[in-house]
Amino acid sequence: MPQMAPISWLSLFLFFSIIFILFNMINYFIYIPMSSKSNKLNKIYSTTMNWKW
């Protein structure tokens, strides 16, 4: 049985690496955060501190 040429290993590595990177990019950019979190962030109340010297 003949051995596989190194150029074939390199092309397979590049092929699977590109697919892996594209898959991760698609999953990263398709994620939509929940709107309820953004509503909670907008409701931050700040209390003013009156210093009495």
pLDDT per residue as tens, the chain (53 positions) = 467 677 888 899 999 999 999 999 999 999 887 766 555 555 666 677 777 77
The CA-CA-CA angle for residues 39, 43, 51, to 5°, reads 165
pLDDT, position 21: 98
Q: List the structure tokens of 36.
A: 């309820």
* C-alpha gyration radius of the chain: 26
DSSP-assigned states of every residue in the chain: -PPPPHHHHHHHHHHHHHHHHHHHHHHHHH----HHHHHHHHT----------
pLDDT, position 31: 85
Cα(7)–Cα(13) distance, integer angstroms: 10
Q: What pTM did the predictor assign? A: 0.52
